[in-house]
Structure 1
Amino acid sequence: MSTEGGNRAIIAALSANLAIAVLKFLAFLLTRSSSMLAESIHSVADSGNQLLLLVGGKRAAKQASPQHPFGYGRERYIYAFIVSIVLFSVGGLFALYEAWEKFHDPHGFEGPWWWVPLVVLLGAIVLEGFSFRTAIKESNHTRGKRSWVNFVRTAKAPELPVVLLEDAAALLGLLFALFGVSLTLLTGDGMWDAIGTALIGLLLVAVAVVLAVETKSLLLGESATADHVKAIEGALVGPGVDKIIHLKTLHLGPEELLVAAKIAVADSATGTAIAKAINDAEQRVRAAVPIAKVIYLEPDIYTAQQTSSTTPVAP
């Protein structure tokens, strides 16, 4: 994924959420609808999350230092994990708390502004739809033939999966709010508003858990994709390199891959020939997989007792 594409999706989502948050909160002040308050906080949390993703991307671009010799690429994973915590606490738990309060006092809407939440929700659906469309468009550049579920599970750059899930949750949350508000207006029973708020809370908690699980895997360190491993294997074997004894890969960041391999060389090869074979193999790997920025190759004499293996990759 290009960083620019991820940033475009983030900025589109941030612009939509800031505008929507103001309108939702205004609707809450006029009607005291718990669904509108939950959706207001949801939009505020999403806006904060998008700012966190932008900060993470900026911090990840810092140059490597003696203390962090492999750079700061994983900052993007850390900030994406913080996003899941914010979504869970500020968004999901707050909405569930509001639903609990409304269940104990299920009053209808106050004042003559009963129509405002409907207008705001319909307008918010349009704005969120544009944001979601941008996220889908940018994701399609790198998704390839993967399903959307597989894309979220296997993407190495966290920004687009996060924005996709947030926008999808935002649209579904708006439908839940519209459900609760409409039935409250029709029946005068605030219990429907409480139900809509509870559905929003459960939705946000579920999305936060999915984000936390997927980002945790990235934080622990994931190997290269199957396609990249295959390309690296093909590039390593060449003049002076008879075969791969074993290979391990690790993402230092979304666009930075560490490659470590033990390669088999001829037992009669000189030190100069081995050094040239290693340098040539590194060039071939970088040409085949440009994100392979850090490469360590260890030459060895292959024997039948050694087992050739590669790093398992995620399905």
Structure 2
Amino acid sequence: MEQQTPPSTDARPAQQGSTKVIFAAIVANLGIAVAKFVVAGITGSAAMMAEGIHSAVDTGNELLLLVGEHNAAKKPDARHPFGYGKVVYFWALIVALSVFTLGGGLSIYHGVHAIVHPESLGDPLWNYIVLGVAALFEGYSWNVSRLELNKVKKPGSNLWQAFRASKDASVFTVFIEDSAALLGIIVAVAGIGLGQWTGNRYFDPAASIVIGLILVGAAYMLARETGALLVGEAMGDDQTTRLRAIFDADPQIDKVGKLLSMQMGPDQVLLTASVQFKRGMQIDAVEIAIARLEQRVNAEFPEIKQIYFESGALRSSWRRADASQPANPSVD
């Protein structure tokens, strides 16, 4: 299908909100991971070891997200004329696989190993102290990502719906990781506490397995969302409806056909529009109408960087104009 030449494309602007979320998560997870491993070695807690693995994996994942953010800011070139925005989705998918294998898999393995070869636990006081401090840091990081998600949350919706609506993989990845981390801390405290209270050595490794299952669930959610964006997810139904209203309201358009969109990055969308202009319009009038539509769309959807108009509808309008006004030919 032939298309109109798109407007010029600038490089993807820096995602200041995304970078802030990632750095907050790195600061929270790095120190916590070291403390958890030290205490796990002292007390022999399988749940604490699982938490240490979780925090260490999360720290590495945030570094991968930073790589994605850096590469996504590259300017379009001949090999990638639409830019590098989808690089963020690629690295977010790698993070999801990391959470599944290194986080969930190792936590479950360590829990099973501790059940088969149970060990006596030492004084759990330091476990509680480190987990309490970890909850504060993870809560801070979680709140930073929550505030970013609130920017795309619709009135009356919840954070889960905002997560599904967000196109910024760095933000929603940190949000899901931190949510899983907070749940993991609760499970670890419960496992260690029940083991101490009952004297049953199996509560602690069972908590490690539960933490692993939480991470597997988080990995599945991240893989589903980032995978959909990576292969070319469209804008939401609400946005498409608003776009159609903009085209329908233009006085020079007779009919609006398909409006097809593709997310090319957290703040970059490609749009193709099949529209039927008024009968008998000349080339200059069509160009003015296109420029007007581009301005109106960009005013409401600044993330739409390219708009393509289906050439069949344009040629049809110009041919009708040629037939009705043969003395003033238009370009076909």
The answer to whether the aligner puts 1:105 opposite 2:112 as a matched pair is no
Aligned twin of 1:55: 67
Q: Check the 8 A contact 1:34/1:194 in 2, yes or no.
A: yes
SS in 2 for 1:106: coil
Q: Aligned residue for 2:166?
A: 155
Whether contact under 8 Å (1:33, 1:109) holds in the other structure is yes
Asked if the contact 1:106/1:189 (under 8 Å) is kept, the reply is no
State yes or no: 1:216 paired with 2:232: no
> Which stretch shows the higher mean deviation, 63-72 or 237-246?
237-246
Q: Distance in 1 between matches of 2:38 and 2:70?
A: 33
State the distance in 2 between where 1:142 and 1:154 align.
7
Residue 46 of structure 1 deviates from its aligned partner by 0.7
Q: Which sits farther off after the overlay, 125-134 or 198-207?
A: 125-134
Backbone CA RMSD of aligned residues: 1.9
TM-score by length of 1: 0.89
CA deviations 1:79-109 (Å, max 9, x no partner) are 1111110100110000010011011112221
Aligned partner of 2:40 among 5, 14, 28: 28
Q: How does 1:166-315 map to 2 (within 5 A)?
A: 166-237=177-248, 238-298=250-310, 300=313, 301=316
Contact 2:152 2:166 in 1 (8 A): no
Contact 2:149 2:159 in 1 (8 A): no
1:3 matched to which residue of 2? Answer: 15
Matched, 1:75 2:59: no
Structure 1 residue aligned with 2:78 = 66
| 1:245–1:186 CA distance, 2 compared to 1 (3 A) | closer
CA distance in 2, matches of 1:255, 1:196: 40
The structural deviation recorded for 1:188 is: 3.7
Separation in structure 1 between the aligned mates of residue 198 and residue 277 of structure 2, nearest angstrom? 80
Tell whether 2:146 aligns with 1:136: yes
- Conserved 8 A contact 1:258-1:294: yes
Aligned with 2:253: secondary structure? coil
Structure 2 unaligned blocks of 5 or more: 1-13, 318-332
User: 1:228 Cα shift?
Assistant: 2.4
Residue 152 of structure 2 aligns to a residue whose secondary structure is helix
1:158-217 superposed Cα distances (whole Å, 9 cap, x missing partner): 122211111111011011111122223334432111111111111111111111111111
Gap runs ≥5 in structure 1: 303-315
Change (3 A) 1:188 1:282: same
TM-score of the superposition, structure 2-length normalised? 0.85
Distance in 2 separating the partners of 1:29 and 1:287: 57
Aligned residue-pair number: 300
Give the share of equivalent positions with the same residue, in percent. Answer: 36
C-alpha deviation, 1:239, in angstroms? 4.2
Q: Distance in 2 between matches of 1:107 and 1:55?
A: 40
Q: Which residue in 1 is equivalent to 2:128?
A: 118
Q: Which structure has the larger Rg?
A: 2
User: How far is 1:240 from its partner?
Assistant: 2.9
Which amino acid letter does the alignment assign opposite residue 248 of structure 1?
A: L
